[in-house]
Amino acid sequence: MKPRKVLSTSLVVGSVLLGGPAVADTPSASMLANTCAGCHGTGGVSHGPATPTIAGISEEYFEEVMEAYKTGDRRSTIMGRIAKGYTKEEIKLLAGYFSKKSFVPAKGQKADPKLAKKGAKLHDKYCEKCHADGGTSTEDDAGILAGQWKPYLKYTLSDFLAGKSEMPKKMKKKLMKLHKKKGDAGIEALLNFYASKK
């Protein structure tokens, strides 16, 4: 019993020093967000092509994808481990924080104009219904595709196609149909279309 008593005393002292338990228990959104900046950039605008920009994505999609990382429904290299470290409340705070930032299209991405034109048509036919305004809208709670980093979108789509990540049933139908008809070239055309959005 003795060590336990020592421990709880030091915890009390600790929280008094931090200004009381209320403050220690609820870190501010910007404090939480600082942890993400190393990879996602300051304010969520990423400079690394394998890491998506998270500034401006809707709160609902943000919370959904963090939950999907936790459960493994969305495959990840790193985010599964990171997401598990945050409570629902903390994720809500983070979602609110990043959704209020402005999305900035990835800088210096190359896009083949011919492929982008093909991709625009494919997008209208297969994806526009849920990823509105050419993939720029956040109102659909489906993430932002236009101007997102191409390498990130490429591996995200290939995980969807390979069944390593879950996606909405209706999206699955459309994406599989597109892939069956147009193959990897169709996906490449879409990626060029999204990369052409500046």
Picking from 42, 63, 60, the residue whose alpha carbon sits closest to that of residue 51 is 42
Residues with Cβ within 8 Å of residue 93, at least 6 apart in sequence: 28, 29, 32
Confirm if 54 and 62 have CB atoms less than 8 A apart.
Answer: yes
When asked if residue 115 is in the footprint of ligand HEC (CB under 6 A), the reply is no
Among 55, 79, 93, 189, binds ligand HEC (CB under 6 A): 79
When asked if residue 84 is in the footprint of ligand HEC (CB under 6 A), the reply is no
Q: Shortest distance, CB of residue 23 to ligand HEC, whole angstroms?
A: 20
The amino acid sitting at 123 is H
Provide the 10 A C-beta neighbour count for residue 41.
17
Q: Which is nearer to ligand HEC, 45 or 190 (CB)?
A: 190
Confirm if 15 and 24 have CB atoms less than 8 A apart.
Answer: yes
Which one of 1-9, 16-24, 112-120, 163-171 is the stretch in contact with ligand HEC (CB under 6 A)? Answer: 163-171
- Taking the C-alpha atoms of residue 147 and residue 84, their distance in angstroms, rounded to an integer, is 28
Which one of 18-26, 103-111, 113-121, 122-130 is the stretch in contact with ligand HEC (CB under 6 A)? Answer: 122-130
| Contacting residues toward ligand HEC, per CB under 6 A | 35-36, 38-40, 50-52, 54, 57, 61-62, 64-66, 76-79, 82, 94, 126-127, 129-131, 142-143, 145, 153, 156-157, 167-168, 170-171, 174-175, 178, 190
